[in-house]
Structures are given as C-alpha cells and as structure tokens.
C-alpha cells in the first residue's frame, strides 16, 4: 500500500497546492489543526509504557510524522496519567506477518500491534480476547462494519481477537469519456453484474497490439488472497462452515469462477493486475474503462487524472446474485498475549478504535478511511476538500460498502491458513494459464485444503517458529501486493 500521506503530498504538488505539505511547518500546522497544540517532542514520564505500532510506512515514517502522531497520542496520555505511549515502526513494514511472528518469538512485539494477516495468529493464542473488555465497558460491535468484525473472530476459543485499524473499501472508477466515444449511455448505479458484463464487453477490444479492456476485477489470478468477496457475491464462499473446509468446489463458487474466467478474463474483456498501481496506470492511460479503486490509493489515481481531461466518476460494485458485494480490507489492531500491562494496553486500543480522536487525526493527516461507521461522512467531506477533482464525484459508494456491510474482508481457514492459501493460489495460477478447467481447479483445490485442515484438526496450535517458517513466502507476496505502482 502506498502511504496516504505520500499520495496527498503528490496530489498537492501536481495540483499546484504544494504548500499544504511541502515543509515541516506545514505539517506542524496540520498537527495543530488535529490536536489543538503545537508539535513538539514528548518528554518521557515515569510509570507504565505501552508500546504501539501504528499504520504508516515508507517515507511517511520520519521524525516529523512521529512527532505529529505523538502529539495526537498526548491526549490519551493526559487522560491516563502514568501511562506513556512509545511509538515503534511495524515489524518489517506495515503488512509483514513473518516479521511480526519473529518479533513475537523474540518477545519484542508491541503491546498494541498491527498487521493484516489475522488467520496466521487466530488459532495460536497470540492475541488477548477482547470480549471481556467490550462487555465490561458496554461497547457494541455494531459501531464497526459487521463484515470486518466477523473476520476478526478466532476459534480457540471463539472470541473477538482484533479491532479494525480502518476500512479500506473499494468501488469502481469509470471512464465516462469512453462511453461518450462509443455512443453508450452512462451506467445506472443500481446495475446488475449482467449489465456490468455487457457494458464491459461492449467497451473492450481484444484485437491489435494495444487491446482495451472493459474492466478489471479485484481478483488476482496468481494470488488467492482477497478473492472471498467474489465467491460470496454468487452465494458461495472460499472458506466453508467452521472455517475448517473449503467451499470452492460447491456450485455457487463454480458459478463465480465461470463468470470470472469465461466472461471476463479468457475473452479478454477484463485484465488482471497484481497491484493497484497496475490498475491505476491502465485506467489513467485509457486501457481499462472500468477499474477497481480502493480508498487507500484513491488520491494517487486522482492525481494521475488531473491533466488528462478524462471525464470520469465513481460507481459501486454491481449487484450480484447474493446482492451488492465488494472487497474490503482486513487491517487490524490487537493486544499481544505477552503484554505485561493488559489493562493499560486495552485502554489505548479502546481509545484508538472506539474513540474518534485518533481516527479523526488519521483522516486529517493521512486521509485514512475510518473504521467507525459514524465517521464516514466526515471522511467524505475532508477528502473532497483536500482533492478538488473529487468534488461532485460519487465517493459515497466507498462509505456505502462499509456501512451497509457488503465489503467483504478476507476469511481464514482455522488450522493451516497460509498453507491452504498456497494450495488455492497455485490452482488459480494454473487456471488463469488454462492448464485446468474451472471445475477441476476449484474442486481439486478444495479437496486438498480439506485434507490439510482435517489432518491438522485437534492438534496443538502451531508454534510461533512453525508459523514463521510457513509465512516466509507471505512476506514477499504481501510486500508486492501493497507496493506502489
């Protein structure tokens, strides 16, 4: 993922508003707007120290940003005398499960930590259950997206083990200039997937040396991660009941895959990319007419559109057999099971995720989409104010996917999630290369995952060292997945 601060800085520079973020003084002004105080280094105080790993990466992790985040966290420290927050960079980067596992093994993981690979830890006892704290403090989980909360429930025992960092939802950026050139009317936001398919087919041109694609999908052909939403859209699933079986071989999932391959990818109606940077480049160059867009890189895409005179707007994902469906992110905060100060760590986690102060600061400083449903209108207002080209655009569809519960984060297998994902990934890659039929690829993948999960059931939770070895490949995959395009 590209840091939203970098996106914002790049947008302002190209749009002629570089003064907003061009200097530390400008950043300090942002801090004063967020915290009501001038930015200055915090003085260590005696008492309990809670180590916290926030979401930021790349060149956004510098002394200025650390100071601004600490200024925001000073409010928590004032409300909790004797507790100090120490900021640390996420182990190995913002989304690196292998590095986080290594930190857990070494006993150096933060008290409040961040990652986006929940399945690798859910069964291992590495996070503290949050239900007792939520019940004690009378906090209803309905303040967050129901789909996001569901993805953070573990199994040993069944418990809520994490809370969302923010909600990276998706919608479509649509090149309306291409519709004009083709003499087509603009799509209705209530379009069905059949209408979406016909439109993509009408706007694609697979012949010649420079083909044009009608659409792309949030479905990476060589990576199983993130594909759950498209099977759920057809009333299917990747992960079956109890999270111990694979449902890819069932008819609804086969129907989804038939649509993906026979109507989109193989006829070259759509294109597949492994990064959002690839998506954005193809859209802004005019090679893809309807392109999936996430909140996390929205401003990068808008920046690239500033000078190319394309007429465009934002549309929701279409209505599928199971209703509206789209992809949603699964970034989470959790409490380390090895924290020496669980109550104080929970107080910080609650302040970050239940309160609005930190999330408002992240919206204002990073344009980060919120986790709390109630803050989405504020996010819309701020984003449109910072990025004038978004004025009048239908960015409410990003909010709609979160608030109405149809943005689906990744779901996880109970026992051997990383290994199961590798099996599925290999079959998807072979399917895209037409080495298998849809039915053969999905049913064989499901059978192998079921054998894997059955053989692992009832055994002891894998050690951190075993998890670290199993997740070595995940490091490379996730780094590539969220790299800038």
Q: List the chain pLDDT tens, one digit each, 485 residues.
A: 333 333 444 334 333 332 333 333 433 444 444 444 433 334 444 589 999 988 766 556 677 778 888 899 999 999 999 999 999 887 776 667 777 777 877 778 899 998 887 877 777 778 999 999 999 999 999 999 999 999 898 887 789 999 998 998 999 999 999 999 999 999 999 999 999 999 999 999 977 778 899 999 887 655 556 788 999 999 999 999 888 999 999 999 999 999 999 999 999 999 877 666 788 888 999 999 999 998 888 877 788 888 788 999 999 999 999 999 999 988 899 999 889 999 999 999 999 999 999 999 888 877 789 999 999 999 999 988 888 888 899 999 999 999 999 999 988 898 888 888 889 988 988 988 899 999 999 999 999 999 999 988 866 555 555 555 555 554 455 445 444 33
- Evaluated on CA atoms 313, 316, 320, 323, the torsion sign reads negative
Class of 170-328+409-466 per CATH?
alpha beta
Tell me the β-bridge partners of 153: 160
How many Cα neighbours within 13 Å face the side chain of 365? 29
Beta strand pairing call for 323-324 and 326-327: unpaired
* Residue 310: count of CB within 10 angstroms of its CB: 16
Cβ-contact 401, 314 below 8 angstroms: no
pTM: 0.84
Residue ranges per domain, the chain? Answer: 4-167+330-391, 170-328+409-466
Query: At the topology level of CATH, where does 4-167+330-391 sit?
Result: D-Maltodextrin-Binding Protein; domain 2 (3.40.190)
d(CA 382, CA 386): 6
Contacts (Cβ under 8 Å, ≥6 apart) of 469 = none
* Residue 403: count of CB within 10 angstroms of its CB: 18
Decide if 4-167+330-391 and 170-328+409-466 have a common fold.
Answer: yes
Q: Where are the alpha helices (DSSP H) in 183-269?
A: 193-203, 228-232, 251-258
Residue closest to 127 by CA, chosen among 95, 94, 104: 104
Residue closest to 238 by CA, chosen among 452, 477, 456, 446: 446
Residue closest to 93 by CA, chosen among 82, 85, 83, 103: 103
- Which of left, alpha, beta for 343 (phi over 0: left; psi -120 to 50: alpha)? alpha
Query: In degrees, to the nearest 5, what angle opens at C-alpha 229 toward C-alphas 226 and 234?
Result: 145
């Amino acid at each position: 993922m590209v840091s939203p601060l970098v996106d914002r800085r790049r947008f302002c520079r190209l749009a002629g508003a570089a003064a907003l973020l061009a200097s530390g003084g400008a950043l300090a002004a942002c801090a004063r707007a967020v915290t009501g105080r001038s930015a200055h280094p915090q003085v260590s105080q005696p008492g309990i120290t809670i180590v916290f790993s926030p979401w930021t990466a790349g060149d956004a992790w510098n002394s200025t940003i650390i100071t601004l985040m600490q200024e925001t966290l000073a409010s928590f420290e004032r409300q909790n005398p004797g507790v100090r927050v120490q900021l640390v960079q996420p182990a190995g980067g913002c989304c690196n499960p292998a590095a986080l596992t290594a930190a857990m093994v070494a006993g150096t993981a933060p008290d409040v930590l961040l990652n986006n690979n929940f399945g690798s830890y859910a069964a291992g006892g590495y996070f503290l259950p949050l239900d007792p704290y939520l019940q004690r403090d009378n906090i209803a989980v309905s303040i967050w997206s129901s789909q996001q909360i569901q993805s953070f429930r573990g199994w040993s025992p069944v418990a809520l083990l994490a809370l969302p960092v923010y909600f990276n939802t998706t919608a479509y950026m649509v090149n309306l200039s291409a519709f004009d050139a083709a003499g087509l009317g603009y799509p209705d936001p209530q379009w069905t997937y059949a209408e979406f398919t016909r439109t993509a087919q009408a706007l694609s041109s697979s012949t010649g040396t420079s083909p044009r694609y009608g659409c792309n999908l949030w479905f990476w052909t060589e990576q199983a991660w993130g594909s759950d939403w498209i099977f759920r859209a057809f009333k299917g699933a990747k992960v079956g009941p109890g999270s111990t079986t694979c449902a890819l071989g069932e008819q609804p999932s086969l129907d989804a895959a038939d649509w993906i391959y026979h109507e989109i990818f193989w006829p070259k109606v759509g294109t597949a990319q492994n990064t959002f940077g690839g998506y954005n480049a193809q859209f802004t160059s005019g090679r893809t007419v309807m392109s999936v867009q996430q909140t996390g890189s929205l401003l990068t895409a808008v920046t690239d559109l500033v000078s190319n005179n394309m007429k465009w707007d934002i549309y929701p994902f279409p209505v599928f057999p199971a209703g509206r469906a789209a992809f949603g992110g699964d970034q989470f905060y959790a409490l380390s099971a090895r924290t020496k100060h669980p109550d104080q760590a929970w107080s910080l986690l609650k302040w970050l995720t239940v309160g609005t102060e930190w999330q408002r600061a992240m919206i204002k400083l990073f344009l980060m989409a919120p986790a709390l449903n109630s803050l989405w209108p504020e996010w819309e207002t701020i984003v449109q104010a910072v990025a004038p080209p978004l004025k009048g655009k239908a960015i409410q569809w990003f909010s709609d996917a979160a608030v109405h519960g149809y943005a689906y984060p990744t779901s996880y297998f109970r026992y051997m999630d990383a290994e199961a994902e590798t099996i599925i990934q290999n079959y998807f890659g072979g399917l895209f290369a037409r080495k298998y039929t849809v039915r053969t690829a999905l049913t064989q993948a499901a059978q192998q995952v079921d054998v894997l999960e059955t053989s692992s059931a009832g055994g002891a939770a894998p050690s951190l060292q075993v998890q670290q070895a199993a997740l070595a490949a995940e490091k490379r995959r996730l780094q590539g997945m969220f790299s800038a395009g």
